Amino acid sequence: MGIVIVIQIISGFLLALYYVRGSLAWDSVVEITREVNYGWLFRVIHSNTARFVFVVLFTHFLRGLIQSSFYLTGPWLRGWIIILLTIAAAFLGYVLPWGQISFWGATVIINLLRVLPIGKILVVWLWGGFYVSFFTCRFFYAAHFLVPFIVIVIAIVHLILLHFRGSRTPSGLSRIIKIKFLHLFLYKDIVNLILIWFMWIWALYTPDWRADPVNFVPRDLSSSPIHIQPEWYFLHLYAVLRSIPNKLGGLIGFVLAIIILRILALVQSNQRLSRLSLYPRIAWWFISFNLVLIWLGRQPVEDPYIIIGQVITRLYFFIIILILSLDYSMNVLFKWRVLLDCKSGY
């Protein structure tokens, strides 16, 4: 994760030297791709590594979920903040090419905030006016440049906390049982570098393998795309958003789908959940529901996808509630067992 974030920051900094925010944003992207020496290479690296960041990020998060790493409250909360900031940085960067999907994506997503009590003021402030304009591009560029450095600081704090608390194991063993850094983690880092190298080779052969063709058209204020959809790493949240027919309800579901991962830090039953044979199955159900939501996010808004989306969205939230309920039940059983042991003289 640290390797791909550093690659993103370096490649983004080199692109920022030639990128022109505002009215010439689209032209500067074309100029970088066609005229700047190796500009196309850095743009391919930056755009595809952004996708790899979320592959690594989601894999790391789901691994922590399966191993019930949310018992480590400090590292889990910092990791949750890193996810939020990475999503924000990706959304801001997706707008910067100033293509059709980028432009209308910023219009649609930010316009959802109008349902809030101060939504209209917030939308005008984020847009820099009464519609998405070149001022929006300038504001998003500045925010996109700063957020990754905040992510690095929080990631360092995340690693420091993890260093003192220790990592979880699949079997839920005690943190006292530890291994040395060398040579296991050195070998793992070498394997990770090899995997990243192969991902770059794949990106060079298919540089636009997940790009929307409509986004290769300059933004047009008078014509909106027929079907607006975000990148694949936003699709599970996008599917939750549109599965609720009410606009306010969809926004609430969208926010809850992110906040509910923070609620897992409330689980404090000292690893007992990870020892349940049922828990890994629950964790894999949660992963399966996320994959189905990603698939649903690419489908048109029509039956049967609407009904399937509503069912999977309910199951998505039900799984988290089930994990919290299991934790509460285990705590109650543990307290009763301690009480009975005390009464029996042990």
Condensed to tens digits (0 to 9), the pLDDT of residues 101-150 reads 888 888 888 888 888 888 888 888 888 888 888 888 888 999 998 998 89
- Residue range 1-170+180-228, CATH number: 1.20.810.10
Q: 3-class DSSP state for residue 241?
A: helix
Beta bridge partners of 99: 218
Does the annotation count 274 as an active-site position? no
More confident residue, 346 or 317: 317
Nearest to 43 by CA among 199, 233, 213, 207: 207
Give per-residue pLDDT as tens, 138-191.
Answer: 889 999 989 988 988 998 888 888 777 666 555 545 555 566 667 677 777 888
Does the annotation count 163 as an active-site position? yes
Q: Give the active site residue among 188, 227, 247, 335.
A: 188
pTM for the complete prediction? 0.83
pLDDT at residue number 58: 87
Tokens of 103: 């432009």
pLDDT of 198 over the 60 cut? yes
Question: What is the DSSP-derived secondary structure letter of residue 36?
Answer: S
For residues 193 and 49, the answer to whether their CB atoms sit within 8 Å is: no
Does the annotation count 189 as an active-site position? yes
Does the annotation count 343 as an active-site position? no
Domain boundaries, the chain: 1-170+180-228, 232-346
Q: How many CA atoms lie within 13 A of 139 on its CB side?
A: 13
Give per-residue pLDDT as tens, 49-77.
Answer: 888 888 888 888 888 888 777 777 778 88
Tokens of 88: 């924000």
Tokens of 330: 């285990």
Q: Give the active site residue among 35, 189, 208, 220.
A: 189
Q: How many CA atoms lie within 13 A of 343 on its CB side?
A: 6
Tokens of 338: 């301690």
Does the annotation count 120 as an active-site position? no
Q: Give the active site residue among 35, 120, 163, 288.
A: 163
